Structure 1
């Protein structure tokens, strides 16, 4: 089968970071018939893991400095440490990150060793009241963060200007991919997608369907099994006054590998974002072993008690004046996880190269927002249809979800917990 032509109809399911980036890169490359569907009523979609005030950036930074993305990139630096209570796995991860940065010919010039509390106070005066017990690591002045929701809005507008169509809300809620009747080629059954059907029972035809639906991808591609698992991490905020927010302006992204991380406050709202470190939460169906996000966003509108305690410790050690302030905007952020924490950018097997899966952000994919769509374009334009990056291929056989699926990923500290258990503990 020849690659999709630039006049063929292309449907992208999902208007989060991966879907929007794909629409942008394909439209910029001259693909003229692109429609993006999302069940969220607006962009950024409330169902997107990237609908947030900020995300850590450590990669693709040159792309973040290009005109479309630069307004949303903030090079505040990245203070990466462990406390005196950190487990060895956290220490090893920090050392691995540091070694990688120090090997980079450009980044290594921006690495500042952090060997004591005085080193931190010298670099970040706002932490002068913090105890910072045993904190050690490094400050990478090359890195920073992006205002993620604003970046999504900017790319959405750019896509519209390039002729991309968007169908949002109830009309954009996809029920299934539609296929032709399967054919038998040498006893190996194949089928070809013809489009999608919405939950309003409306059919839209397409030559190619790209699924960028995050943690909900298994709903549309059942053959994924447990290759993609819905996992969540907690997010909380503290509402600061204008004066408090101003006093923290310019602080680096501060990541205690064993506790969590925080950002400079969002200028428009004064919200200080906090995220705890841990293994995260899965929502496993006992009958199938597949983890999917809860049906209603409201079900995830809380921070589990253990995560809340970690955030209080993070604040007590850095900004103790805020340690007892109430949390606002608490929620669990669901994302598409893979066992090896790597992406899937590949054709779905046995679909005659008519369905592409773009998934596996594993909680760290947003940093690639400016370039991830180029990976899809490269796949489409490979004449033989094979994903040349081996680690991004379809990840069969599926793995077993039992117990600690995904916990072995090197940079994660802690073990998975079941969503039903933490939800029950609140009642």
Structure 2
């Protein structure tokens, strides 16, 4: 027998964006906010439940910018205002600097374009000695074969991802937001609609409860595509990460490093202070898990705390070229990290064009965490019908199903690495065997 639980605002998804939206709405005085998620908080499969994410301060937005540039500059401006000045977010931003580099000629051209578009002073890096000078002696011992790039010494770095997400959650709860999580109580099986299907009225969870609400906000990350027909606008895509343990002495040496991002190799960020582990990612256009349902192509995400053996090999190549002293060290943790790509990699944050009382906030496209403080602002402005966010920005966020007609599901979308191709998880022959164990390092 089902029962009903009423609320004013129902948010589906308690990940990075769901927490940001709940926090901003509560800060603005909204009440009766409920958040549903199928995993306990923080979710082990949330992309935001991570050691760290790259963060960059964008150029000041200008009316002379193209619509695309203006959009990104404005969204970054909103987000960085929080990372640098909001007392909740400030502790988690580390402006250590950023190195943008590549090996292949086409990837390096992307670095050059990045350098031309950035108003900051960038230091060219052309030799292994140039790269080694960006960090303390003993860190970058590799030969950097073929590497070229630029060093941005300020205005970029990283954010402590899981710490920020937990802080948003704690503050939202303090302000009265109700989180319902777990495989039964929190897992949404379907959205609820009026009899004519023209109005959203909430969601039904796995335990049979009908959670009704005046406003429903769908922000379930890569799993959003399972709950609503997005007309092929979303492509759930997975990337791969691993942690490498360091000794106390190494962790002290590697502290406050600039982020080293190889456009066609991968990146690493300084180790976390608690577990003394460094996060590594191999760079590639992503993995998808294709299925055909009702004659339609979809990519279906799944959780796995392992990575393909080929991804581990790419990470070890990154280490051999940059920090060979760590190249053979056993990894302590690994997982697939899912996000949802829109066709143009801009976010999709809008009222649904055909269903009343439904807002979608999806399509992080690999840029969702660093801009997460802005997501709550963007969604709250739509709900409040405020004019603070310019129509120029809202236009770029709109529901745009026409862009996904005959979508190329294998489009690399300007990403490099792994031969520049989106990879099919059905083709993975071997998975790495990386244990989530902690061990001391000599």
TM-score when scaled to structure 2? 0.85
Instruction: Give the number of equivalent residue pairs.
Output: 395
Look up the match of 2:26. 27
Change (3 A) 1:24 1:426: closer
Look up the match of 1:121. 132
Is residue 165 of structure 1 aligned with residue 178 of structure 2?
A: yes
Is residue 92 of structure 1 aligned with residue 109 of structure 2?
A: yes
Give the whole-Å Cα distance in 2 for the aligned partners of 1:82 and 1:279.
15
Give the whole-Å Cα distance in 1 for the aligned partners of 2:202 and 2:298.
25
Look up the match of 2:440. none
What 5-or-longer segments of structure 1 have no aligned partner? 1-6, 103-107, 183-189
Give the whole-Å Cα distance in 2 for the aligned partners of 1:314 and 1:15.
33
1:12/1:211 contact within 8 Å kept: yes
Change (3 A) 1:400 1:411: same
In the TM superposition, what whole-angstrom CA distance separates every residue of 1:52-104 from its partner, at most 9, and x where no partner exists?
Answer: 00000014333211211111111111111113xx141x1122122222223xx
In the TM superposition, what whole-angstrom CA distance separates every residue of 1:315-364 from its partner, at most 9, and x where no partner exists?
Answer: 11111110011122111101111121110001122112x11110000112
Look up the match of 1:174. 188
2:7/2:34 contact within 8 Å kept: no
Is residue 68 of structure 1 aligned with residue 88 of structure 2?
A: yes
Give the whole-Å Cα distance in 2 for the aligned partners of 1:403 and 1:372.
26
Give the whole-Å Cα distance in 2 for the aligned partners of 1:292 and 1:284.
7
1:87/1:258 contact within 8 Å kept: no
Look up the match of 1:3. none
Look up the match of 1:334. 338
Which of 362, 366, 369 is matched with 2:365 structurally?
A: 362
Look up the match of 2:66. none
Give the whole-Å Cα distance in 2 for the aligned partners of 1:420 and 1:49.
22
Give the whole-Å Cα distance in 1 for the aligned partners of 2:209 and 2:406.
36
Give the whole-Å Cα distance in 1 for the aligned partners of 2:405 and 2:322.
39
Pairwise CA distance, 1:220: 1.1
What SS does the corresponding residue of 1:207 show, helix, strand or coil? strand
Give the whole-Å Cα distance in 2 for the aligned partners of 1:97 and 1:159.
37
Look up the match of 1:272. 278
Is residue 293 of structure 1 aligned with residue 296 of structure 2?
A: no
Is residue 133 of structure 1 aligned with residue 145 of structure 2?
A: yes
1:14/1:36 contact within 8 Å kept: yes
In the TM superposition, what whole-angstrom CA distance separates every residue of 1:253-312 from its partner, at most 9, and x where no partner exists?
Answer: 111111000010111001111000111111111233011212xx2xx2222233222211
Look up the match of 2:421. 415
Is residue 258 of structure 1 aligned with residue 258 of structure 2?
A: no
2:251/2:276 contact within 8 Å kept: yes
Report matched runs for 1:13-412 at 5 Å.
13-42=12-41, 44-59=42-57, 60-65=79-84, 66-83=86-103, 86-88=104-106, 90-102=107-119, 108-109=120-121, 111-125=122-136, 126-141=138-153, 142-170=155-183, 171-182=185-196, 191-221=198-228, 223-287=229-293, 288-294=296-302, 297=303, 300-352=304-356, 354-382=357-385, 389-397=394-402, 398-400=404-406, 404=410, 406-407=411-412, 409-412=413-416
Pairwise CA distance, 1:410: 2.4
Pairwise CA distance, 1:411: 4.0
In the TM superposition, what whole-angstrom CA distance separates every residue of 1:130-149 from its partner, at most 9, and x where no partner exists?
Answer: 11123221111221001100
Give the whole-Å Cα distance in 2 for the aligned partners of 1:365 and 1:425.
30
1:238/1:272 contact within 8 Å kept: yes
Give the whole-Å Cα distance in 1 for the aligned partners of 2:277 and 2:194.
50
Look up the match of 1:186. none
What 5-or-longer segments of structure 2 have no aligned partner? 1-5, 58-78, 433-442
What SS does the corresponding residue of 1:325 show, helix, strand or coil? coil
Give the whole-Å Cα distance in 1 for the aligned partners of 2:81 and 2:114.
19
When structure 1 is superposed on structure 2, of 118-127 and 22-31 the one drifting more is: 118-127
Look up the match of 2:75. none
1:11/1:195 contact within 8 Å kept: yes
1:344/1:360 contact within 8 Å kept: yes
2:232/2:401 contact within 8 Å kept: no
2:92/2:164 contact within 8 Å kept: yes
